Amino acid sequence: MIAQPKASHFVDGAYVEDTAGAVIEVIYPATGAVIARLHEATPAVIEAALASATRAQTAWAALRPVDRGRILRRAADIIRDRNADLARLETLDTGKPLQETLVADWPSGADALEYFAGLSPTITGQTIPLGRDFVYTIREALGVCVGIGAWNYPSQIACWKSAPALALGNAMVFKPSETTPLCALKVAEILHEAGLPAGLYNVVQGLGDVGAALVSDPLVDKVSLTGSLPTGR
């Protein structure tokens, strides 16, 4: 019952380790066994993740929406092809029964990627007549988005937050819950395999201090949080 990932973080298209960060033990809730040991993101890891997202985002936003959508669709297909193995990882990460993770968790994430892949080419501006004149609007990407995940649906939330952000030309730095840190790394790995350029989906591990560092950084343009009201405040 070991689920040790290649490294604790996924930054700029590759797994990254920094053993200077505090140890995070991953517990399989059904037995209490330690199934992995990760390290909390140090300031250097956080800085690298935000820098890579900032660097990659401009070219990604300039790409045709249909081309961005094709990459997300490929990621959805990979998830569906590997659903059995991914569901087992979700069960180890959360303690949920396999009968649930096989049908609810990763399949829902794949659906989100597929949905926003199809939606992205349809998001356009408007032309508004004003008598003889007119005005028009243009939809532009926000920039670097931070996602803060929760423990109960780690793969779903990682996909739900990343799919709309990436589809519309943004970059994502995602911090999963410290109690369920494994599945987001697989999301990053699969997106990269599907053709997502390096730097556009980064995963950093940690507790509240890491989240606070992310959401307060001036490079961040948008924050999406799934969590409690005190955490949101």
Q: What is the pLDDT of residues 51-94, one digit of tens each?
A: 999 999 999 999 999 999 999 999 999 999 999 999 999 999 99
Q: Is 191 helix (H, G, I), strand (E, B) or coil?
A: helix
Predicted local distance difference test score (pLDDT) of residue 220: 98
In the chain, at which residue ranges do the beta strands (DSSP E only) sit?
Answer: 9-11, 14-16, 23-28, 33-39, 127-130, 133-136, 144-148, 171-175, 201-203, 222-225
pTM: 0.94
Q: pLDDT (tens digit, 9 = 90+) per residue, 156-194?
A: 999 999 999 999 999 999 999 999 999 999 999 999 999
pLDDT tens track for 94-131: 999 999 999 999 999 999 999 999 999 999 999 999 99
How far, in Å, CA of 10 to CA of 131, rounded? 53
Q: 228 pLDDT band (50/70/90 cuts)?
A: confident
Residue type at 204?
A: V
Mean pLDDT value of segment 5-27: 97
Q: What is the pLDDT of residue 231?
A: 83
